[in-house]
Structure formats: structure tokens, C-alpha cells
Chain A
Amino acid sequence: MKNRLRLRSRLSVDTMKNGRCFLILCVILGLNLSLNLPLAASSGLADRVVEQKLANGLTVLMVERHQTPVVSLNMTFRVGGVNEQVGQTGLAHLYEHMAFKGTRTVGTKNYEKERPLLEEWYRVGTELEQRQRDLARKSPERPASSEDRAAIEELQKRFTELQEKAGQFVAGNEMALLYQRHGGVGLNAATGKDLTRYTINLPANRLPLWAALEADRMAHPVLREFYKERGVVMEERRMRNDDSPTGLLYETFTSAAFRAHQYGIPTIGWESDILSLTPADTEAFFKAYYGPDNATIAIVGDINPKDVMALIEQTFGTIPASPPQPQPVTVEPPQRGERRVEVEFDAEPSLVIGFHKPALGHADDYVFDVIDAVLSDGLTSRLYANLVREKRIAASVSSDSNYPGVRAPNLFVFSATPLAPHTTAEVETAIYAELERLKMEPVSAKELEKVLNNLDADLVRALRSNGGLASQLALFQTVAGDWRYALKARDKIAVVTTADIQRVATEYFTKSNRTVATLVKKTGGKKIATALEHEVAR
């Protein structure tokens, strides 16, 4: 699958396998931070990062790499699914989409004329949707009046007119177009539980373009084409969660594992919440969380840090700091018994198991990183060797020590597919047997050595790509408050003992601390597609 005229970076094999061969904007990230891919200890990274902080709180991390005249830019905000309120799930991700709609300068043909139309359109749209919801709540005892219906009809008419009028001033996707014209590749953004990131790679001499566009977007975004973009997000939800067996299994699993904390909510949001998000909600979310003091910019490539800082001071430096961001208060209460959930789907069976564990920075977190590697890293890992190769009951098995975020206590997750005719129950039993072995027997010295060798090699490999390095730097600065976290974590991992592993396995891998979700083959029943007709097609 090659096309020598295509202007994109390489596609991943996974992307191709699923037939998703188009550039996809605004991917939702699970942000599974694996410490298998952090920063380099042995390659002198610590000396190569230039760290600066502006007076308004903006953090800038820079690494010079002069092999090719290109630069990777990563702007990461400390905001994500955890910052959403009940009834407004999906808001962080919807804002991320809206952030591509331009500013008072870019994306418009005439902002002065556009602005009043946008304001009126969004006022009418919000009232229309409120009335539509009220109408839907009417009961046979309190039926809708003909006035109600007439008012909605009038609002709908007005809505369509205003949408049309405002649309005449839109210069569609202009920011993206500018980046593309100047040779930008990999324009994208992603929203996770803990953070939201915006990325682009440019020829190195185009940095002023980036600074002008991004500072403008941080200071003065304009939320255009709101209702259509919300429709796009609905399609994204259907594609990723509703029609994907893995997506739906994970959504169901996660919401069963967390009863209180926001980690239990799908980052893309629940369908009914997405459909009731308003332009005002979205604007308010931007104002609360998108200040320079809540952002880290990582820049890796053919740059001169002094010049870059001058450029950033000139542009981002003029943006005022925002008030302190409200912090989430909900803490997940301890789990007091096993939870089991099922998802019926027209697909072959699969299994997810999760155990609650502490957040990033807790002493036990490093022990879980070692356990993760021992159990599922490579063909010689315990789960692969035992379940896939020896017993031949699983087609695949993997683990993840930081799901679905890292800033709050999270889950250690196992994911597996049985090899027919074996069942998810057999695979589940075999996984538990491996966990019991972790509790009973010390892990061998050779296994520990392997974990550390691979960690050290991955620390070096992470430096290969500008974009990968920028992403890692911004990530750890955002979630740990320090990009050096990965270097420090390596040293903590190096001193994890066999006794630590036995203790942690015994403490956390218990029946009452786990949630188990299985995907079972659907047989008949209600059709999915027919349930969607209530969505207003605007």
C-alpha cells in the first residue's frame, strides 16, 4: 500500500489492518502511560533538555536535533475527562474538536459581521434544544400544547437561517489548510483522562507560523460550526465505542470498575450528554482550563532555543495567566467485592480484568511496572509463554499497568482473547493461576535483569523520533510536574525486589478488588441501528 505522492507520515500497521487508512483527526487517547517507553537515561538526555517558564506560567521544553531541518511541536494541557461534570461528559473532547475551528482572525472571512450571527444562532440553538428536551418529557397527563410545537417549529426555522448566514463567513478548516500549505504533517490532537495534546510537525523555518497560529488559538478561539462538529463527534463515538467490540467492552468494563471517580466515564462522553452539550458550556470549559499556566509546550528538532524563546515570549508571552483551575474532588471508594459485567456483541469472545491500584508516584506503582513487564512483555513473558504457547488456550494476552489515566488511582488491566474452543472462563482461571504464582514464588533474577535491560534499551529508542520525544517530555511534565520523572522512575524500578513483587501481588491481586468484563457472542435481540432515530439531524 504505497503511494509515492501521498504527503503523510507513515501509517501504522494496526491502522492499516483495520482498514482505517485515512488521516484521522482528534483521536481519543487511552493515554496508557507505559514506562516501557520513556526518556533516555544513558543517552545524556538530561543535559539536552532546555527548560523555560514564562511569567504567565507557560512551560517550554526544548531539545535540539539538527539531523533534518524539521521540528516537532507538542502542546499539552493539563485538562481531560477528569475535569468534566455529571451531565457534561465528552466536553473536554468536544472542545478539542472545536479548537480547530479558528480564531477571530483565522477561519473567518469577516469576524465583525460573523460574531453577532454566531451569538444569535447559539442562543436560538440552545433554546431550541432545551424546548425539544422539555417536549420529550411531556407525558399523556401533561401533553404538549400546539403552542409548544409552534414555538419549536419557529425556533427550528430561525436556527436553520442563522446557521446558513453564519456559515457564509466561515473559511472552513483554514488553520489546518495553512499548516498543510507550509508543509506541516501529522496535525492532530488527542484527549485523554488526564491531558489533552495538540501536535504538528513542520519544516523548521516555519516556527513563526506555528507560534502565531497557536498563541492566537490559546488566546482567542472562536467556536464555529458547533452543531455539525458535535455530529462528527457522535459519529466518532459510534465508530470507536458502539460498533467496535473492543471499544464497547472497555467502555463497559471501565464504568463498572469506577463507581464514583471520573475515570469510569468514557472520554468521548455518553451519547445523551454529547447531544446536550452547548456552545456556552464549551466556551466556559475553554476559559477554565486553557490558560498558559495549564500548558506545556515541547519542541524537538532543528531549533535554536534562544530564538525559539524570543518567539514564544513575543506571542504566548502576552497571554494573561488564568485563575487557578478547579481540581476534581471525587475519590473512588475502596472496592468491596468482585464486579462482573457482560457485553453482548456480534463478535467472538474476549475478556478484560482490572485491579485497582495507586496513582503515579506511589511506591507500589513502580512495582506494578515490573510486574507488567514480567507478565506480558514479549514472547518469553509469563502470560504469553504459558497461556498462548504452552496451554494454547489464548490467542492473545496483554497487560497494562496504568489504565485509564495516571494522575488518580487507576487499574492494572489484563486483556485476552481465548483460542477456540477454549473459553474466557478458562483464560480467566489461567491468569489467576499466574497471579497466585507471583504471590507464592519469588520472580527469578534473570527475569528482573531482562526487565531492566529492556527498559534501558527503550529509554534510548524513545529518542529516535522528534515527535515521540516531544510527546514524552510534555506528558511527564503534565502528569508528574517534571519531565525528569521517567529518568527517576528508571532508578526506582531498578531497585524493586522480589519481596516487593510478592507483597504487592498479594495486596492488590485479590478477588474483591477486581472487575471482570466479558464479551459474549450476541444472538438475536433488539437491533442497534433502529434505536438511533431520535437524534436530531440538523
Chain B
Amino acid sequence: MKKVKRETLCVKRGIVALGMLAMMMLVPMMSACAGNPTLGDPRQMTFKTVEFTPPDADRVVLNNGMAVYLLEDHELPLVSITATMRTGSWLDPAEKIGLASLTGSTMRTGGGGGLSAERVDGDLEQFAGAVGISIGRQSGSASLDVLSKDMKRGLQIFAGLIRTPAFEPARVELAKLQAIEGIRRRQDNAGSIAGREFGKLLYGADHPSARESSIESISRITRDDLVAFHRKTIHPNGMMLGVTGDFDKSAILALLRDIFGDWEKGEVPVLAIADVPQSQSAKPVVRFVNKDTSQTHLRIGHLSIKEQDPDYVALAIANDILGGSSFRSRLFNDVRTKRGLAYSVGSRLNSGVHDQGVWLMRAETKLLSTQEVTARFVANMERMRTELVTDSELAEAKEAYVNSFVFSFASSSAIVGRQMELEYDGLPKDFLQQLRARVIALTKEEILAAAKKHFNPERLTIVAVGSGEALPKLLSGFGEVKEIKLAPEG
């Protein structure tokens, strides 16, 4: 539905000790057994909160506006570079959906920097270097991964593809054919259909967060369009570079200035995505797609808030308890563990800074249990809206959050990636510390208030993909059921 970005749980400093939380934990079971004879009962173990101050990356801005993050890590003889670029498919013209994506893939495959496509591929693979370039809905990204001995030649190829891609016509043609084949195969998997139709119902089929390319829109795109899209949107002052691994800071900065320094500034596109006007009808929307499958693939939810919303933290923890935290969550325990009705079940709050978030519950379940699972979804949502979460649920959510913080620093590239992402989204450097402080202070009442306000039964959209014969009847209790008839692709 949206561009995939890294998970971003990140704190920069040591973590506030939460000893009191451990004491608040209610352990509601009494056992006749004493646990391990030597270590004691694992349920009673307590540990200090891990203190860890991760290394801080340096940030240097080149004269042309390109921001460079640098973090040395000499454990392994490798260098990894990632770029984030202010471009994306929100810029696609309506009649040429797919332009941004195609530009990204052919920047990688079409040659550049004075080298033919064949030469680029051949050289890179001969010295085991890897380059990736892609453009998603709200940003573009590029990566280089090389042994440190190959850093210079790797970086030259990488920069050539980004600055002066050649878009060789044969490679453009191939990329178009592959994009079209991808469209033809879109309806192969029921889960993919459910996810895409759900997004289109929520945002509208023409909205930048949900719209899809078609064989026609891809066919219309020419090489000149790709050249123009690249020229218009890829600029040094719209780009950040993150460098991690086995390098010397001053040496690589000299090299980067040499390679990128004479690239002139341009006009960077403004990332602005229109909100969706909230529909006036206060009735659930229930839709099915007929596909010959053994399971019903369910998506239930509605549009939600952005990350800057004051209710975001409370709603995120509400969602965590409802269905976002796998084993710990209510949906997992109810639908999977207690009833055995689904393998994959849960809920998600996908909120970003730039467009409206989506909140959804999902599962795959055999046709005969479609009604029961849907009813459990609605009932669990209702319970979140009407009852306070328990003390132990809240304590568990907080402890899990605080104790797993340290995994944000599992690698140098993760640390740098998070810093870049905050800058891309225009968020303060300490945004994550702010979130953490909010989580720690969160109350049951705030969670209930957020759930009441932002989980809305009247606004639910239900999409089910599965047996067209049986689904209308199974779903009839949840609203007026209509069919989405998919035209065959291609």
C-alpha cells in the first residue's frame, strides 16, 4: 500500500529504568512447580534495563546541499552506502502511473556515468559489488554494498547511475515488458487482491497512496519521460547519503566531494499528498471479490491519523494490545490460540507523516469460519472502545517497548538509516525519545479515549476475497454486501 520503509524504533541515549513496571506486573498464575531448580521460576526473573549509548553518526553537508551521514565500523571489510531521494510516485501524471517506479528500475539497469548497461552489470558483478535503485510512493532510494577494497570503483558506478543514467532503450523496453507482466500477474494471489482493493476503497482509486499502474499507463511511458522525470526530481539538495562500514572519514569525504561536488543544485519537489475527504455516509462498506480459494482473505479497517497527531502514541499502543503485538495481542489469542481459526491474524496501524494512516485488522481463514472471524474482529474492536485495557496488558506493552529499544542499534546501518529517515520526514532529532517518554507516561484512560475516537465501527470497510457463491451470505450481517468485479489484467 505504501512504500516499504525500515522499522523505526530508535532511542539514542540510555533507557530510563522501569523497575516499577516490573512490580506492577500482575502474574496471575500460581504454580505448584518451582521452575528451574537452579535458576528459579522464569516468571519471577528481573533484570536491569540494558544501558547502551549507540555511536552517533557525523552529518556533513556538501556545498550543493547533499547531506552525508558517516559512521565508521571496522569489524568487517565492507562499506555500505544508502541514498534517500526526494522523489516518488506521488509525482506520477495521472495518465502515466508507473513513471516513477520505472525511472528507478531503469536508473539501475540502463547504464550511466559514461558506462554501458552491460559494462555496469559486468563490472559490479565481477567484483561482487551490489547496487540497487528504486523509487517508491514517497521517496526514492539507492544502495551500494561493496568490499572496502572496491569502494572507489563501486562509488563511481553508483554515482554515475544516480547523476547521469543512460536509460538505454533496450533496457527501458525490457523494464516496461516486465512491469506489464507484473500487472498481468497481480490477480494470482488472493492476499494481494485483498490488500490492493482495500487500499483503493479507503483512499479512492485515483489517490496517490492507492492508485495502480495499468498496462495502458505503462505502455504510454517513453524513454523521454524517464529522462525528464529524472532531470526534474533527482537533485543533490534533495538527497541524503548514509555511509557505514570500513572506511576513513576524511578520505571518503574527499572522494564524495570529488564525485558529487560538481553536481548542481536543482528545484526539489515538495512532498505534499492530499488528504481524503471523509465520506458523509456513516455505514460500513462491505465488498467481496470472487476467487476460487479455500480461505477467505479478510481486511477490515478504515483511514486513520498521521504520526504527528497528538493521539498517535495512545492509538499505537491501543493497536498493539488489540492485534499489533502477535502473541501478546487480543486478536492473536482470541482468533488463533483459543479458536484455531487462522494462522496469520492481527492488526496494524500504518501511520506516516505525509499521508493519512490506515488502521486495519486482517486474517486468512477457511470459508466456513469467515463469519465467526469477522464477528470476532468487530467484537474485539468494540471491547477496545468500551473497556479499559487491563493493568497487565498496559504494563506488558510498556515493558516490551522499553526492553526491546536496544534492537534499534543492532547495526551501524540501522542507526544511520533511522537518522536519515527522521530528517527526510522533517521530524526533530529527538522525536523517538519524545515517543518513548509518551509511551512510558501513557494511561489506560488515554488508550480508551484514543480507541473510542479512532476505532470507528460506522466507518469500517470490509474486503473479503474468496468464494463468490458463499461470501455474500456469510458477510450479510455486517452491512450491505456488494461485489467488486475485477476485469482480467492483460
Contact = CB atoms under 8 A, between A and B. Distances in A.
Interface string A374-407: 0000111000000011001001000000000000
Contacts of A171: 28-29
A2 B343 contact: no
Contact of A110 (B1, B2, B8, B31): B31
A29 to B, nearest CB: 15
A109 to B, nearest CB: 4
Interface string A432-464: 000000000000001001100110111011011
A238 B294 contact: yes
B401 A5 contact: yes
Contacts of B1: 1
B188 A348 contact: yes
Contact of A231 (B341, B362, B466): B341
Interface string A64-84: 010111100000000000000
Contacts of A104: 33
Interface stretch (B235-243, B431-439, B443-451): B431-439
A519 to B, nearest CB: 9
B328 A173 contact: yes
Contacts of A70: 406-407, 410
Interface stretch (A182-190, A259-267, A485-493): A182-190
A16 B365 CA distance: 20
B62 interface: no
A193 interface: no
A522 to B, nearest CB: 7
B292 A206 contact: no
Given A112-B32, A228-B338, A465-B411, A420 B490 contact: yes
A460 B77 contact: yes
B33 A111 contact: yes
Nearest to B313: A5
A3 B342 contact: no
Contacts of B396: 177, 180-181
B127 A106 contact: no
Contacts of A19: 191-192, 194-195
B4 A11 contact: yes
Contacts of B188: 245, 346-348
A68 B402 CA distance: 16
Interface in A1-30: 1-11, 13, 16-25
B234 to A, nearest CB: 22
Interface in B346-402: 346, 348-352, 362, 364-369, 396, 399-402
B327 A528 contact: no
Contact of B343 (A17, A232, A392): A232
A460 B78 contact: yes
A529 B292 contact: yes
A105 B350 contact: no
Interface string B1-21: 111111111100000000000
A209 B42 contact: yes
A127 interface: no
A395 B451 CA distance: 45
B6 A10 contact: yes
Given A5-B401, A110-B32, A315-B36, A243 B295 contact: yes
Contact of B292 (A314, A419, A458, A527): A527
Interface residues of A, number: 123
Given A43-B77, A231-B340, A420-B184, A5 B316 contact: yes
A31 interface: no
Contact of B332 (A173, A178, A231): A173
B192 A395 contact: no
A205 B47 contact: yes
A254 interface: no
Interface in B305-343: 307, 312-313, 316-317, 320, 324-328, 332-333, 336-343
B346 A184 contact: no
Q: Which of A40, A177, A204, A245 has the most CB of B within 10 A?
A: A177
Interface residues of B, number: 128
Contact of B5 (A1, A24, A420): A1
Interface in A516-538: 522, 527-533, 535, 537-538
Given A2-B5, A105-B35, A177-B396, A67 B128 contact: no
A216 interface: yes
Contacts of A181: 25, 396, 399-400, 403
- Of the candidates A7, A180, A460, the one having the most CB atoms from chain B within 10 angstroms of its own CB is A7
A235 B432 contact: no
A176 B327 CA distance: 6
Given A22-B346, A111-B31, A213 B47 contact: no
Interface stretch (B86-94, B118-126, B251-259): B118-126
Interface in B21-59: 25, 28-43, 45, 47-48, 50-52, 54
A55 interface: no
Given A22-B348, A236-B343, A239-B344, 16 more contacts: A4-B8, A5-B439, A22-B345, A105-B35, A105-B43, A181-B25, A183-B50, A208-B45, A212-B35, A233-B343, A235-B340, A347-B188, A420-B184, A450-B125, A454-B128, A528-B293
List the 3 closest A-B pairs by CB distance, nearest first. Answer: A183-B403, A231-B340, A228-B340
5 contacts: A4-B10, A70-B406, A184-B404, A209-B47, A389-B174
Interface of A: 1-11, 13, 16-25, 40, 42-43, 65, 67-70, 104-106, 108-112, 167, 171-174, 176-178, 180-185, 187, 201, 203-206, 208-209, 211-213, 215-216, 225, 227-236, 238-239, 242-245, 314-315, 318, 346-348, 378-380, 388-389, 392, 395, 417, 419-420, 446, 449-450, 453-454, 456-458, 460-461, 463-466, 522, 527-533, 535, 537-538
Interface of B: 1-10, 25, 28-43, 45, 47-48, 50-52, 54, 73, 75-78, 109, 121-122, 125-128, 145, 147, 174, 177-178, 181-182, 184-185, 187-192, 194-195, 291-295, 297, 307, 312-313, 316-317, 320, 324-328, 332-333, 336-346, 348-352, 362, 364-369, 396, 399-407, 409-411, 421, 431-432, 435, 439, 466-467, 469-470, 490
